[in-house]
Amino acid sequence: MLQVKNLTKIYEGNVKALDNVSFEIPKGQFLAVIGLSGSGKSTLLRCINRLIDPTEGQILWDGEDITAATPDEMRRIRRRIGMVFQHFNLVHRSKVITNVLAGRLGYVNPAWSLLNRFPKEDMVKALKQLERVGIADKADSRADELSGGQQQRVGIARALMQDPNMILADEPVASLDPVLAHSIMKHLEEINKNDGVTVLCSLHFLDLVHRYADRVVALNEGKLVFEGLPKEIDDQKFKDIYGRDAERVG
C-alpha cells in the first residue's frame, strides 16, 4: 500500500509542479497517471523514489516514510522500486546484459562493483529476465544497436532484476509506435498480474488506460483533478483533465 499525502513540489524559480496531491494505491494495483505534458506526472513518479525531493508532504510505503528516509534507508527502498523510462535510459555503450545487471546494484556490495563483478546467480537471473521479455539472443549486443521496442524491454528486464514490489513507469510507450506500445504494456500487465507488482504508469493515450489500468489518477497543472475507474472518464471529466479545447482521439 502506497499512500501519498499532501505532496507538493516547488522547483527553483517558484514553479509549482505538484500542488497538494493525495491518493492511495493498494498493493498489486495497476494505476495509470494521466495528464498533459507538464502537468506533473514525471515529478510525481520521481518523488516516489526520491529522484526528486518533494518540498512538502509525505509518502508512506507499507507504513515506512519514504520522504524521511536516510541515504542508507533510501538505498534499501529504491532497490524494491523498479523504474521504466520514456527514453529507456540505457547506457548505450554498455552491453545489454550489463544494463540488465545494473538493476542489481542496490543489492551488490559497492566494493565488488569497484571490481566490476556481479555474483553468478545474478548473471543467471539476468539472462532469465531477458528471456522473459523475449530478447535473450541480444544479451551481448551493445544497447544502442537495439530498436526502440527492444531497448524498452531491456529497461523492463532491468527493473525486474530488482525483485521489485512496485514499478514506476514514466510514459513507457510514448516514444514507441502503437504496435510496440501494446507489446510493452502487455509485459507490464503480465508482471502486474503474475508477480503481484504494484504498477504506477503515466500514459498519454486513453485507450491504453482503458485497456490496462485498474484505476486512474489525473493531474492538471500539479493538482489532482480526477481519481477513479477508467470508465468513469466521461466527456466532462475529459475536459477537466485535458482542458476545454481538447478533443478525444482513440
Partner 1 sequence: MKNKKASPWKSIQTGLAVLLVMIVFAYGFEITNIDLEELRSPQRQTSLQRVTRALVRPDIVEFEKEEERANAPVYVPCPEDGTIPELPEPDTSGPYIVASPACAAPSESVTVEGFNFSPNSTGPVRFVPGSDPANVVELGNDTATADADGHFVAQVRLPGRESEDVQYIRATMRHNIGAPRFTETAKVTWEKIIETVFLALLATTLGTLLAIPLSFIAARNLMKPVRSPLTSVSLSLLGWPIGIGLGFLIVNQIGAMSALIADSIAANLLSVVIAPSLFWVAFRWAMPQEEIKIPSPALRLARLFVIFIGVLLAFFALFQLAELTTTISLALRPRLGAAGFLANFLFQVSDILRIITPAAGALAAGAVVGGTLGRMGQRTAERASASSVKTLNLILTAIAGATVFGLVGALIEWLYQVGRPEYTFWGPIITGAVLGFLLALFTKAKTTLPTGLVIYTVTRTILNGLRSVEALVMAIVFVIAVGIGPFAGVMALGLHTIVSLGKLYSEQVESISSGPLEAVTATGANRLQTIIYAVIPQIVPPYISYTMYRWDINVRMSTIIGFVGGGGIGFLLQQNINLLNYRAASAQMLAIAIVVASMDYVSSVLREKYV
As a whole number of angstroms, the distance between CA 219 and CA 221 comes to 7
Listed residue (5, 13, 15) closest to 56, CA to CA: 5
Strand, coil or helix: what is 218?
strand
- CB neighbours (10 Å) of residue 186? 12
- Which residue lies nearer to partner 1 by CB, 54 or 230? 54
Binding part of the chain for partner 1, among 27-35, 59-67, 98-106, 242-250 by CB under 8 A, reads 98-106
107 scored as a contact of partner 1 (CB under 8 A): yes
Name the minimum Å distance from CB 105 to partner 1.
4
248 scored as a contact of partner 1 (CB under 8 A): no
Distances from the Cα of 30 to the Cαs of 14, 166, 241, 243, in angstroms? 32, 10, 20, 25
As a whole number of angstroms, the distance between CA 55 and CA 64 comes to 18
61 scored as a contact of partner 1 (CB under 8 A): no
Residues 144-203 that bind partner 1 (CB under 8 A): 155, 158, 161-162, 168
Sign of the Cα torsion 101, 105, 107, 110 reads positive
- Which residue lies nearer to partner 1 by CB, 31 or 166? 166
38 scored as a contact of partner 1 (CB under 8 A): no
Total interface residues for partner 1 by CB under 8 A? 46
Which residue in 12, 37, 63, 114 binds partner 1 (CB under 8 A)?
Answer: 114
The DSSP result for 148-189, as a single string, is: HHHHHHHHHHHHHHT--SEEEEESTTTTS-HHHHHHHHHHHH
Which residue in 30, 61, 85, 212 binds partner 1 (CB under 8 A)?
Answer: 85
Site residues (vs partner 1, CB under 8 A)? 49, 51, 70-71, 74-79, 81-83, 85, 87-94, 98, 102-114, 116-119, 122, 155, 158, 161-162, 168
